[in-house]
């Protein structure tokens, strides 16, 4: 240990550890050790020099005395469990509990993604690991480990984003004062699959003639996410007003959404007419609260996956994703001249960066752009030369 200060003022020090060869070494960054209100606190800092660590120490003591920080940061863990009456582990604290509680308060439905992410985080760091020990180096090691295991960069990004959210919530609650730097791996696995009209026609022929086929058609027309369509209720559909309203609690982005389908009967092939006809057909066979039900309940995820896998294989489209329907709808809206901001609002993209990842321009669009440019150049080069001006009558 090093960096001791005068008694009662706290101290800055660098912890020691043994490397893989058994050699005793000092950590690269400094920790602070101080007591306020009769409680002793040890916290890591990002400081690489003693003077910088002492600056952090003075700020931290002041924040403690002002009540800006509460609790014991050195005791906060990744996830804390207790045995329930049924003998199963029950989550009661830690960063994971903060994130899951916030998801519940916000009414977000994707808590399963949080649970999946923390399952992997806990397997690597340990559920009872003190978050003070989760440094940037260990975060980077986690990312490297997951990528080496064949996980997609977007998957690793989501897992680290959940960990980062836990740290931020801990700071907001006054339980933590600092958090490691998170540099998420840049995703390179954005898919770029599209469905053409013939593909969709072949797919529809292979899907069961029930709510599953209608659900796929709805997703193709609206560009909505699978579960936004799968869990759609009749209460959200206004047939007279010709609008579908998705509540905040049912939207993945957490924002409400409106999708009008004001049908123009003169345009039989319009998206609005197709949606209206589809909903009318579903209303005629309605069974409960949901637009696309099975036995009165929304179609199960596995039922959708099973039908999709079989239909795409038989249609010669094996490997294609339901999410490709969302990308295709966005592309077709753009081709129709709809501006990108409106597409984002209709289909539910919260940020421009996520919309850009869908790469809604395909090879056909690029070829059309080249042909358009060539056509204009050719037209200009083939234009007849202007006729010479007539000679003046006064000319000799």
Residue 5's pLDDT is: 46
pLDDT in tens, the chain (396 residues): 444 444 557 899 988 877 767 788 888 888 888 887 777 878 878 788 999 888 888 888 887 777 666 557 778 899 999 888 888 888 888 999 999 999 888 777 678 889 999 999 999 999 999 888 888 888 989 999 998 998 888 889 889 999 999 999 988 888 887 787 777 666 555 555 789 889 999 999 999 999 999 999 999 999 999 999 999 999 999 999 999 998 765 666 667 889 999 876 666 678 999 999 999 999 999 989 999 999 999 999 999 999 999 999 999 998 889 989 998 998 889 888 888 889 888 888 877 776 776 656 555 665 666 666 666 555 555 556 555 555 444 444
Q: How far apart are CA 208 and CA 39, in angstroms?
A: 66
φ and ψ at 281, to 5 degrees? Answer: -65, -40
Compute the half-sphere exposure of residue 355: CA atoms within 13 Å on the CB side of its CA: 20
Within 8 A by CB and 6+ apart from 375, the residues are none
Residue 115's pLDDT is: 92
Q: Which pair of structure tokens corresponds to residue 343?
A: 């597409």
Residue 155's pLDDT is: 87
Q: What angle do CA 231, 204, 257 make, to 5 degrees?
A: 30
Residue 62's pLDDT is: 81
Residue 381's pLDDT is: 54
Please, are residues 16 and 28 in contact by the beta-carbon 8 Å criterion?
no
Surface-to-core class of residue 301, CB atoms within 10 Å of its CB (0-12 exposed, 13-18 middle, 19+ buried): exposed
Q: Which pair of structure tokens corresponds to residue 46?
A: 């990002």
C-alpha torsion angle, residues 229, 230, 235, 237 (rounded to 10): 30
φ and ψ at 74, to 5 degrees? Answer: -70, -10
Residue 369's pLDDT is: 61
Q: Which pair of structure tokens corresponds to residue 187?
A: 């995703």
Task: Classify residue 32 by its DSSP letter.
Answer: E
Residue 382's pLDDT is: 59
| H or E, element range at 345 | helix 340-347
């Amino acid at each position: 240990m090093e960096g001791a200060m005068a008694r009662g003022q706290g101290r800055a020090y660098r912890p020691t550890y043994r490397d893989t060869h058994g050699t005793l070494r000092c950590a690269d960054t400094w920790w602070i050790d101080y007591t306020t209100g009769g409680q002793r606190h040890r916290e890591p800092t990002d400081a690489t020099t003693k003077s910088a660590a002492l600056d952090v120490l003075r700020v931290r003591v002041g924040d403690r005395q002002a009540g800006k920080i509460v609790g014991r940061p050195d005791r906060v863990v990744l996830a804390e469990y207790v045995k329930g009456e049924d003998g199963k582990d029950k989550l009661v604290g830690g960063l994971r509990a903060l994130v899951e509680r916030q998801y519940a308060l916000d009414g977000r439905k994707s808590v399963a993604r949080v649970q999946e992410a923390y399952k992997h985080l806990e397997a690597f760091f340990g559920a009872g690991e003190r978050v003070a020990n989760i440094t940037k180096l260990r975060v980077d090691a986690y990312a490297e480990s997951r990528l080496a295991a064949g996980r997609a960069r977007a998957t690793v990004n989501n897992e680290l984003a959940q960990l980062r959210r836990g740290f931020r919530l801990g700071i907001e609650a006054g339980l933590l004062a600092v958090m490691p730097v998170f540099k998420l791996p840049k995703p390179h696995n954005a898919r770029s699959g599209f469905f053409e009209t013939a593909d969709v026609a072949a797919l529809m022929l292979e899907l069961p003639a029930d709510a599953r086929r209608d659900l796929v058609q709805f997703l193709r027309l609206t560009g909505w996410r699978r579960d936004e369509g799968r869990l759609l209720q009749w209460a959200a559909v206004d047939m007279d007003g010709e609008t579908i309203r998705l509540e905040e609690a049912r939207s993945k982005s957490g924002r409400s959404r409106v999708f009008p389908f004001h049908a123009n009967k003169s345009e039989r092939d319009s998206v609005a007419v197709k949606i209206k006809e589809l909903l009318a057909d579903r209303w005629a066979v309605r069974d409960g609260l949901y637009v696309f039900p099975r036995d009165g309940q929304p179609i199960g995820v596995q039922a959708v996956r099973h039908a999709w896998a079989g239909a795409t294989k038989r249609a010669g489209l094996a490997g294609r994703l339901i999410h490709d329907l969302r990308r295709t709808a966005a592309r077709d809206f753009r081709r129709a001249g709809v501006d990108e901001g409106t597409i984002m609002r209709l289909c539910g993209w919260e940020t421009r960066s996520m919309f850009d990842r869908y790469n809604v321009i395909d090879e056909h669009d690029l070829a059309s752009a080249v042909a358009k440019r060539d056509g204009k150049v050719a037209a200009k080069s083939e234009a007849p030369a202007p006729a010479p001006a007539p000679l003046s009558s006064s000319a000799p």
